[in-house]
Amino acid sequence: MACKNNNVYLMHKYLDGELTKKEEQQLRSHLQSCNACQHHFHELKRTVTLLKSNSHIQAPRNFTDRVINNLPKEKKRVSYMRWFKDHPVVTAAAIFFIFMFGSIFTAYDQDTQLSVTKNKNLIIQADNTVIVPEGITVEGDLVIKNGDLKIDGSVNGDVTIINGEHLRASAGDISGEIKQVNQIFEWIWYHIKDMAKSVFTLTYK
């Protein structure tokens, strides 16, 4: 069987899927004429079939669970992230509230400085009292933060006092409304109204 060696090599090449067209023809024609090689080839193919039949070899049930249970603990951050992904509406609402209240509270906390609407006629005293002097008329709205207001003259507009008091000792004259904001919720409410107001002004302009 001198023919065998080379042809067996071709058979293996065939089974590896590496046979060229020419070699395939060569092997084919040889197999037709040589019984021994045909038999050999048949046995090889059968061996491959037997080796490939491994469907009965299966990982046991619960294999995946067992693997997962034996894994090191996952990072906390990831499980939070997954929870957020599963609940997008709640997440969006939470983020909205965090930002909204966050910004308002920080604004409330940081503002302990006296601030007054700019007007050259106002007198500001060291004890954070703002005075509208007698005989002076302030044109436009007046906003005072963290200070008291004493009106001896008159204000031609609305007055808002945040964290302060309107000292009514004298008979000052306000043509618009006077608002005093002291509580935190009023402060928030004031902010919201203010925001709404500016939004509407923008739209109407």
Q: Which of 5, 35, 59, 203 binds another protein (CB under 8 A)?
A: 59
Interaction pattern, residues 73-92, with another protein; x per rule: CB under 8 A: -xx-xx---x----------
Q: Which of 35, 60, 112, 169 binds another protein (CB under 8 A)?
A: 60
Q: Assess contact for 174 and 159: CB atoms under 8 A.
A: yes
CA-nearest of 124, 121, 104 to 113 is: 124
Span near another protein by CB under 8 A; candidates 72-80, 102-110, 119-127, 129-137: 72-80
User: Would you say 84 or 190 has its CB closer to another protein?
Assistant: 84
2 contacts another protein (rule: CB under 8 A)? no
Q: Which of 5, 33, 35, 54 binds another protein (CB under 8 A)?
A: 54
CA atoms within 13 A on the CB side of 3: 13
109 contacts another protein (rule: CB under 8 A)? no
Structure tokens at 190: 């004031």
Contacts of 10 (CB under 8 A, 6+ apart): 19, 23, 26, 27
125 contacts another protein (rule: CB under 8 A)? no
C-alpha angle 167-191-171 in degrees, rounded to nearest 5: 20
How many other C-beta atoms can be found within 10 angstroms of the C-beta atom of residue 10?
Answer: 22
43 contacts another protein (rule: CB under 8 A)? yes
Interaction pattern, residues 4-23, with another protein; x per rule: CB under 8 A: ----xx--x--xx-x-----
Size of the site for another protein (CB under 8 A): 36
Q: Which of 70, 112, 113, 203 binds another protein (CB under 8 A)?
A: 70
User: Would you say 83 or 99 has its CB closer to another protein?
Assistant: 83
How far is 110 from 185, CA to CA, in rounded Å? 16
Q: Which of 25, 36, 66, 200 binds another protein (CB under 8 A)?
A: 66
- Under the rule (CB under 8 A), what is the footprint of another protein? 8-9, 12, 15-16, 18, 40, 43-44, 46-48, 50-54, 56-61, 63-64, 66-68, 70-72, 74-75, 77-78, 82
